Structure 1
Amino acid sequence: MKGILPAVLLAFAAALPAHAEDPRPLRIGWVQAMANAPALIAEEKGYFQEEGLTVELKGFGDGPVIQQAVAGGEIDVAYIGAPPVYQWATHGLDAKIIAKVNYGQAAVIAKTDGPIHALSDLKGKRLAGVNKGSGMDVLLRGYVLKEAASLSPDADLALSQMPVGNMNAALDTGVVDAAFLWEPFISQSVLRGAGRVVFDVNGALPGYPWYVVAAPAKTLEERPDDLVKLLRANAKAIAFLRAHPEEANQIIARGFKLEPVKAADGRMVPPEAIVAEARKRLGWSAEIEPSDRAFIQRLIDYSVDLGFLDKRLNVNDIIDDRFAAKAAAQR
């Protein structure tokens, strides 16, 4: 960020306590999803080291596993979806969102030659989704089905829970009629010619936030300087993703071990083209905007309405801007 930050932000950032440099590596847990690529880029390009930060980057399959690692003191900070953070709060795990990582990533796809062309066509059909009560399930039930499609998730269609890695095969073989999944699985299906996008959430809600940087109270208190360094590295990674898309796509393709896919016409589509296709539905941003707060509040409200939370939280109670403000002031 260039220029002078508003005095109120500078004062807010200055409120962070000063700590002696911590010799321990900062243990970063991250959900291994393409939308979380800034963590991968920061490691690959050496941005953590540039900021004087030693890290241990640990990949996890989903938010609940990271929650266990945070609660058990195995990691210090997480690149994770926003819903787990407010879900943690209701279970007594005090943690705060300190920055954004990405926007977009999810879509409903159906077979290219099938009868589903719009969300309304899902009525009476079989739809694949992930675990009930998870963040993606809240987005599916609360926004995609109930709000955007005016469908009852429980009465108007059959929802099948399965790992996201199994959804394309289930769609190909007719086990389900459609799937709600994320990148790179969407692009792999589209580029093979097997699936088509029926509903892109980012198309309907441009810039909606998903992955965030979150830290438990212990890390916020004991390692504020390291968190500021982390956020500077995160911002550098996002800037690189925007400024050097071709190189970034290659790093992402290697990092996620993407394989070429065979298109309907027989040509082989290289891994970096899968990443380029995925960028049509996702992007990266570090700043938490007012619209981001409003969307996370919607997710909280959906969770309450769906019976997944027993109390309504205020989004401002799970966001701490001090670290981002200090990181921006030092750029």
Structure 2
Amino acid sequence: MVCQYLRRSRLEIAYYQYSYTGRRLDMLIRKLLPAFVAALTLGMAMPAQSADAPAEHAPAKITNLTVGVLPISDTVAVYIADKQGLFAKRGLSIKVVPAPGGAAATSGLLSGQMQFAFGSYVPFILAAAKGAPLVLASPTEMTSGVPSGLVVLANSKYKKTAELAGAKIAVSALANIGTVAIREQISAAGVDAASIKYVALPFPNMLAALEHGQVDAAWLVEPFLTQALEMGARVLFNPFAAPMPDVPMAGYMATKKYVADNPQIVARFNEALQEGADIAKKNPQTYRDMLPTYTKIPPTVAAKMQLNTFSSQAPQAGMQKLADLMAKSKLLDGHFDVAPLYQH
């Protein structure tokens, strides 16, 4: 049976979705980008709450920041950093708000309602390809550091990757890093990627969909991967294995103008965030204890789930590889140069 805590309201479930479809992103960017460009033309800066100060010294004046995140394991560093005063000692006061997908994060950044927003790089690349002036502010994860698996039930007819032709696979969104990675793995196994039908479901709903035969396989991350294994499910493959381990996974983005206007604020934010990530890496119990305070993960599950390994790097070559794979998967209309994402 699926664990009781998986039964959530639609609003709670939405927080687990990593990205929205390209169509929704396109609609949002068409709506917000003209106003953003007009503001740049008129010299209207995005709101910065205080003057900059050197990163190594806490300024006398506090800078208020709004940070969009998903309440998932991947964002534990920002909560650890906040609780342990790592932002405060750098003169920053953060307000964490939900950003349940790439469209919401991009909208929040372009409107100035958020200064930083977390998410998978796939929807941010999609937004940048449509003209959104986004840049990478703080990397947090490579695919190699994220526990992940394509799982099937114990009695499934699918025993290996090469047998997946024609299968229905549950993914958290139709346009995200999961679908990109799965396509690469099944293609390498000789499966026609076009034969796969992807079904977009929130992560908490996937185990039930497997049990009821609505899908044949599901792409799961933690804590759902651990729960699936406890139910007896089998992992066919890790989508983030070769050729994906050197690909950046997720991080915090900002607008190009905000970063250009506030370099020291960005530096202090990044320092605090990376220090929080270091604490999570060196003290797994601190990581596990923090999870139930901002997610719906019970302490009993947090105690045994696999933990993410964080990275302060997002190599441009790896990001370009991701964009090229997105083009190969038809998520992008041709080549996209990721260099602007790194131009602060």
Work out whether the TM-score is over 0.5.
yes
Residue 233 of structure 1 aligns to a residue whose secondary structure is: helix
Q: Aligned ranges for residues 265-304 of structure 1 at < 5 Å?
A: 270-274=300-304, 277-279=305-307, 282-288=308-314, 292-304=315-327
Distance 1:127 1:238 in 2: 32
210, 231, 234: which one pairs with 1:193? Answer: 231
Does residue 1:160 correspond to 2:204, yes or no? no
Distance 1:203 1:304 in 2: 20
- Partner deviation per Cα, 1:159-191 (whole Å, 9 max, x = no partner): 22222221111012221111113222212212x
Match of 1:140 in 2: 182
148, 157, 160: which one pairs with 1:118? Answer: 160
Distance 1:63 1:188 in 2: 26
Report if aligned partners of 2:76, 2:290 keep a CA contact under 8 Å in 1: no
Distance 1:303 1:284 in 2: 23
Report if aligned partners of 2:123, 2:175 keep a CA contact under 8 Å in 1: no
- Partner deviation per Cα, 1:95-140 (whole Å, 9 max, x = no partner): 1113320233332111123233321121232211233223433333
Distance 1:250 1:112 in 2: 31
Report if aligned partners of 1:28, 1:57 keep a CA contact under 8 Å in 2: yes
Distance 2:193 2:202 in 1: 19
Report if aligned partners of 2:62, 2:92 keep a CA contact under 8 Å in 1: no
| Ranges in structure 1 where 5+ consecutive residues have no aligned partner | 1-17, 261-269, 323-331
CA RMSD in angstroms comes to 2.3
In structure 2, do the counterparts of structure 1 residues 150 and 319 end up closer, same or farther at CA, with 3 Å as the change threshold?
farther
Match of 2:66 in 1: 27
Distance 1:310 1:103 in 2: 24
TM-score (norm 1): 0.78
Report if aligned partners of 2:71, 2:294 keep a CA contact under 8 Å in 1: no
Distance 2:84 2:157 in 1: 45
In structure 2, do the counterparts of structure 1 residues 121 and 202 end up closer, same or farther at CA, with 3 Å as the change threshold?
same
Aligned partner letter, 2:168: R
Distance 1:78 1:248 in 2: 21
Q: Aligned ranges for residues 1-331 of structure 1 at < 5 Å?
A: 19=52, 23-104=62-143, 105=146, 106-141=148-183, 143-146=184-187, 148-155=188-195, 157-190=196-229, 192-204=230-242, 205-206=244-245, 208-259=247-298, 270-274=300-304, 277-279=305-307, 282-288=308-314, 292-320=315-343
